[in-house]
C-alpha cells in the first residue's frame, strides 16, 4: 500500500504543478490578440457579407474549378502561336501521370534530327526504356548515399532529405545525357509505354517503400560493424529486387531489336540495332558538349555551381551549371532556335500554367479580379 501511494504521489505531483502553472497562462491567453479568440472569430464572421455579388461568387466557386473561373480570357484572346520561325516536328509526346517531363523534353530535342536523317514524317523515342534505367540508377544512387551516410544520426537533415523520396521520377538535362551515353536509346516501338510508366504513383510508392526498408537494413549492418564491401554485397541483392519490380511494371529493356518504319516516300526503313548503336547512328551528337545555364537570382551571377546528391548515377559528377541573367538565357535560346536546334528548359511549371490551352504566362489566372485579393509575388 505504501508503494502504491508513492507511485500515485509521483504521478499526481507533476499534475498539481502543471495546474498551478497553466491557470495564470490560460488567463493571459484570453487577452492575447495573437490567438483566434471568440472576439476575433466574431470579427471575421462579420467581415464576410453575403451581398448579391458575394452570394453569386459563392455559388460559382463552390460549383466550379477555381482555375476555370480565374482564367484570364482577355489575356488568352491576345495569345498568338504564329511565329516567324518554328522548328519543324510532328506530334506531341505525352508524359501523362508521371514526373518524366525532363526525359520527354530531352528526347524531343533529338526528334527533328532523327526525322531528317531517316526522312520520316514522325518519330518518337521510347521514354519508357530510359525511364527503366533511370529508376534503377536512382535506386543504386540512393543505396550508395545510405552507405556513405551510415554513421550519421537518423534525424540528420541530409539523410532525411534522402529518404523523403528515395527513387523519384524527376530529373534534369544531365540525366538524359548520362543515361543515353551509358544505355543508348531505342524507338518507342522497341519498348512502348505501360500502364505504370504512364501513371507512376503506385509503382513509386512500392519502390520507395522497398528502398527505405533497404536503407534500414544497411544502416543496421553498419551499426553491427559490417564493412563497406559487405554492405555493397548486400546492396547487390537489394538491386536485384528493384530490377525485378521495375521489369514487372515497365517491361524488360531490349538488348537488341529490329526497327522497321516507312519514310515520307513510302520506302521501308529497316535495321537491327543495339540501343547504343541506334543512339550513335540516329542521334550522332555528343550531348555532353551542351552546357546547362540557369537564372538563379538569389545567388551571384557569373559563377559555377554544383549541387550535392543531385545526380541520378553514382559514377558521374553531381549536376552543375553557370548562373547567368535571364537576358543572356534568352539570347542563347534564340540563337539555338534560329540554328534549327530545339531548346531544353526547366521551370516551375506548376505556376501560371494553363494545361488545357498550353499557355504558360504570368497573369493567366486573375485571382485578384475574382476574389478581390492581391496574391502577387515578385
pLDDT tens digits, one per residue of 270-279: 999 999 999 9
Residue 210, φ and ψ in degrees, nearest 5:
-65, -45
Residue 31 is predicted with a pLDDT of: 62
> Secondary structure of the chain: what % helix, strand, coil (to 5)?
55, 10, 40
Is a pLDDT exceeding 60 seen at residue 7?
Answer: no
pLDDT for residue 2 is more than 50:
no
Q: In total, how many domains does the chain have?
A: 2
Is residue 228 within a helix (H) or strand (E), and if so which, with residue range? helix 228-250
Same-domain check for residues 35 and 124? no
* Final residue of a structural domain among 289, 324, 344: 289
pLDDT at 20 over 50: no
Residue 3: give the domain boundaries.
Answer: 1-46
Claim to verify: residue 32 and residue 119 sit in the same structural domain: no
Chosen domain end from 289, 318, 345: 289
Q: Which of 83-92, 139-148, 232-241 has the lowest average pLDDT?
A: 83-92
Share of the chain above pLDDT 70, in %: 92
- Summarised one tens digit per residue, pLDDT across range 337-352 is 999 888 999 888 788 9
Q: What is the pLDDT of residues 181-221, one digit of tens each?
A: 999 999 999 999 999 999 999 999 999 999 999 999 999 99
Both 123 and 38 in one domain: the answer is: no
Q: Is residue 238 situated within a structural domain?
A: yes
Q: Which of 204, 205, 231, 201 lies closest to 218, judged by CA?
A: 231
Residue 8: inside a domain, yes or no?
A: yes
Q: What is the pLDDT of residues 142-167, one digit of tens each?
A: 999 999 999 999 889 888 989 999 99
Global pTM value: 0.83
- Predicted confidence band at 12 (pLDDT cuts at 50, 70, 90)? very low
Amino acid at each position: 500500500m505504501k508503494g502504491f501511494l508513492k507511485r500515485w504521489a509521483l504521478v499526481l505531483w507533476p499534475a498539481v504543478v502543471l495546474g498551478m502553472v497553466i491557470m495564470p497562462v490560460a488567463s493571459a491567453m484570453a487577452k492575447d490578440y495573437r490567438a483566434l479568440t471568440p472576439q476575433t472569430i466574431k470579427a471575421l464572421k462579420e467581415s464576410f457579407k453575403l451581398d448579391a455579388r458575394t452570394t453569386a461568387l459563392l455559388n460559382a466557386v463552390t460549383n466550379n474549378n477555381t482555375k476555370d473561373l480565374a482564367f484570364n480570357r482577355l489575356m488568352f484572346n491576345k495569345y498568338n502561336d504564329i511565329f516567324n520561325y518554328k522548328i519543324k516536328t510532328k506530334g506531341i509526346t505525352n508524359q501523362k501521370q508521371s514526373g518524366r517531363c525532363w526525359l520527354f523534353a530531352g528526347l524531343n530535342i533529338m526528334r527533328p534530327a532523327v526525322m531528317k536523317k531517316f526522312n520520316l514524317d514522325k518519330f518518337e523515342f521510347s521514354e519508357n526504356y530510359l525511364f527503366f534505367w533511370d529508376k534503377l540508377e536512382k535506386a543504386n544512387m540512393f543505396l550508395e548515399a545510405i552507405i556513405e551516410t551510415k554513421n550519421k544520426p537518423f534525424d540528420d537533415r541530409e539523410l532525411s532529405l534522402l529518404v523523403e523520396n528515395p527513387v523519384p521520377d524527376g530529373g534534369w538535362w544531365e540525366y538524359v545525357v548520362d543515361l543515353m551515353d551509358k544505355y543508348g536509346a531505342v524507338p518507342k516501338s522497341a519498348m512502348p509505354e505501360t500502364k505504370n510508366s504512364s501513371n507512376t504513383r503506385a509503382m513509386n510508392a512500392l519502390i520507395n517503400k522497398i528502398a527505405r526498408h533497404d536503407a534500414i537494413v544497411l544502416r543496421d549492418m553498419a551499426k553491427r560493424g559490417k564493412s563497406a564491401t559487405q554492405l555493397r554485397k548486400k546492396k547487390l541483392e537489394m538491386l536485384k529486387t528493384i530490377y525485378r519490380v521495375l521489369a514487372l511494371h515497365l517491361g524488360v529493356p531490349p538488348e537488341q531489336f529490329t526497327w522497321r518504319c516507312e519514310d515520307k516516300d513510302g520506302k521501308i526503313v529497316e535495321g537491327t540495332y543495339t540501343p547504343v548503336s541506334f543512339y550513335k547512328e540516329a542521334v550522332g551528337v555528343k550531348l555532353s558538349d551542351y552546357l546547362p545555364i540557369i537564372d538563379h537570382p538569389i545567388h551571384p551571377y557569373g559563377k559555377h555551381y554544383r549541387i550535392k546528391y543531385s545526380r541520378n548515377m553514382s559514377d558521374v559528377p553531381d549536376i552543375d551549371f553557370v548562373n547567368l541573367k535571364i537576358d543572356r538565357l534568352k539570347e542563347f535560346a534564340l540563337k539555338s532556335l534560329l540554328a534549327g536546334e530545339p531548346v531544353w528548359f526547366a521551370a516551375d511549371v506548376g505556376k501560371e500554367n494553363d494545361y488545357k490551352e498550353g499557355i504558360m504566362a504570368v497573369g493567366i489566372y486573375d485571382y485578384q479580379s475574382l476574389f478581390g485579393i492581391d496574391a502577387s509575388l515578385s
